[in-house]
Amino acid sequence: MTNIHEEYISTDTTTLRVERRSVGYIPARERHGKPFSQFTLWFGANLQITALVTGALAYVLGGDVVWSIVGLFLGQLGGGTVMALHSAQGPRLGLPQMISSRAQFGVYGAAIPLVLIILMYLGFSASGTLLAGQAVSHLFGAPSEIGIIAFGAMSAIAAIIGYRVIHAIGRWATVISSITFTYLIVQFFIVADVGALFAINEFSIPSFLLAAALSASWQMAYGPYVADYSRYLPKDSSEKQVFGWTLAGTVLSSQIAMTFGVLVAAYAGEQFDGNEVSTVVGLAGGGLIASIVYIVIAFGKLAVNVLNTYGGFMSVVTAYSGFTGKAEIKQAARITAIVVMSVIAVLVALWGRGQFLSAFSSFLLFLLTFFTPWSAINLIDFYWISKEKYDVPALSDPKGRYGAWNIPALLAFGLGVLMQLPFVATGFFEGPLVAALDGADISWIVGLIGTSIVYWLLRPLDKREIPTETILPAEDQLLAAEKSGHTLADHKGPMNRAVR
């Protein structure tokens, strides 16, 4: 028997060729890459200025140095594990992350968390565009508005080209940012009394839990799109390797950046707030080296901002395709969606240039309230209830085995959000139990555990028919449809192929 993977493997390795896929299934002939690619992607995406600023928040908002760093690391591990478990789903299903959540919420029901996720991507894109715009404007002496617009345009172009160039940017960012951060850290140890900084060691439960929540939210916010960047891996890729490389890349780089952020914030004091980029670049001195650091900051932000632009576009198309029954969209519609998302992000960045630090903190922590129950439901269902067995063609059929709405999952999601609210502590909302915990925010812990239990208890009400083995679109029929000039969205023939 002919090996499907060998017969249909892609021979196109052109990085700059515009991607033609959106939210549809990735055929075996187009699969490529190694699990290690997840390490470089997520390392490059996290060793950058916004991760540094997020770590700095642990100190700026009242923490010490030592226990802020410890809390950040524990949050990285907790949130990173959740995020990496999502990443391992990509090669198995060949689908973007939010398409697979239709198996839990229903083809239409999956659009409910999508609305919030689209807002998240817009927020992250806007904040990333703002920081990178500062770097570009400092570099060329131009107004910040010019830097923001220029960076938004670069992000849009890279997202339009798509998957291959995103991974290429991640590889380059890993190398360039590693060298630059190493230089900045060495310079910091030269100018700062690091021993005195580590002497700032006053344990506080609320501050410790805040640090953990900041890093956990940072990692878990990747959950709704992490499989988008592993879905092109061959379907026989080791799940353990995909999980392990993703976890290692995202935790190691984030912890380096956030630890450095804590130390820089403690060293700079009050002048850090509002001058994050210039404070960090100031460690490099002036002249040519400072210019290089500004370029690296902008490039590092590009590595992650493209993920947010691309993820936002994928989420919009996921919602659209769920209600239209289309597995793919035309190339013009794909480009238009990316451009619109980018323009909105730029406008938000231009509008929200003031009070960035405090607003970003509240944004991160409050969004976690909504994404924690989504992650819990997706992971419990995939690994323990469905046991990694999904019917991929049925994910586009509201009359199929997953239905239009899965009420038990939606109910568990709503209850998961509600049970967290008493424990949420952000700049614009504080739950009634936060004061009793001395200001500590443990909502993400409550959400993960509580939602998992509720979803499991509601299982008897779940009427879905779970397949006994994974059902994928038939590769030969997909190829025949495309050779005949039809798109996957137009193809109406039988497409099921069961695989173990």
Three-state SS annotation for 17-74 = CCCCCCCCCCCHHHCCCCCCHHHHHHHHHHCCHHHHHHHHHHHHCCCCCHHHHHHHHH
DSSP state of 425: B
**Which of 19, 18, 22, 306 lies closest to 156, judged by CA?**
306
> Helices 66-87 & 239-268, crossing angle to 10 degrees?
150
pLDDT at 494: 41
3-state secondary structure of 471: strand
Give the pair of three-digit tokens for residue 216.
């956990």
- Tell me the pTM: 0.87
**Which residue carries 């990443």 as its tokens?**
87
The whole-number pLDDT of residue 14 equals: 63
Q: What is d(CA 451, CA 377) in angstroms, rounded to the nearest whole number? A: 7
Q: CA-to-CA distance for 231 and 77, rounded, in angstroms?
A: 23
Residues (pLDDT < 70) of the chain are 1-15, 274, 352-365, 427, 475-500
CA distances 113 to 110, 214, 216, 337, 398, Å, are: 6, 21, 19, 19, 17
pLDDT of residue 412: 96
Q: How far apart are CA 449 and CA 415, in angstroms?
A: 12
pLDDT of residue 114: 84
Other CB atoms within 10 Å distance of the CB of residue 435: 11
Query: Among candidates 131, 151, 138, which has minimal Cα distance to 53?
Result: 131
Is the backbone of residue 485 left (phi > 0), alpha (psi -120 to 50) or beta?
A: left
Locate the domains of the chain by residue range: 4-353
Collapse the DSSP code of 391 into the 3-class scheme (helix H, G, I; strand E, B; otherwise coil) and give the result. Answer: strand
Whole-number Å distance between alpha carbons of 79 and 441: 15
Q: Where are the alpha helices (DSSP H) in 381-406?
A: none
Please tell us whether the domain made up of 4-353 is placed in CATH 1.10.4160.10: yes
User: Contact 113/105 with Cβ under 8 angstroms?
Assistant: yes
In whole angstroms, how far apart are CA 134 and each of 153, 281, 459?
15, 11, 50
- The secondary structure element, H or E, covering residue 499 is strand 496-499
pLDDT score of 133: 75
* CA angle, 456 then 214 then 38, to 5°: 75
Give the pLDDT confidence score for residue 354 in this predicted structure.
59
CA 92/CA 236 separation, integer angstroms: 7
Q: How many residues does the chain have?
A: 500
Question: Which two three-digit tokens encode residue 292?
Answer: 């290089």
pLDDT of amino acid 365: 63
Buried b (16+ CB within 10 A) or exposed e, 60-96: bbebbbbbbbebbbebbebbbbbbbbbbbbbbbbbbb
Burial class from Cβ neighbours inside 10 Å (0-12, 13-18, 19+) for residue 286 reads exposed
Cα 119–chain centre separation: 13
Count of C-beta atoms within a 10 Å radius of residue 17: 12
Give the residue from 385, 382, 405 showing the smallest Cα distance to 322.
Answer: 405
Which run of H or of E encompasses 473? strand 470-473
**Residues with Cβ within 8 Å of residue 71, at least 6 apart in sequence:** 58, 63, 207, 208, 209, 210, 211, 212, 215
User: What residue type is 470 in one-letter code?
Assistant: T
Q: Looking at residue 352, what is its pLDDT?
A: 67
pLDDT of residue 497: 46
Cα–Cα distances in Å, from 381 out to 89, 376, 452, 455? 12, 8, 9, 9
By CB atoms closer than 10 A (0-12, 13-18, 19+), residue 293 is buried
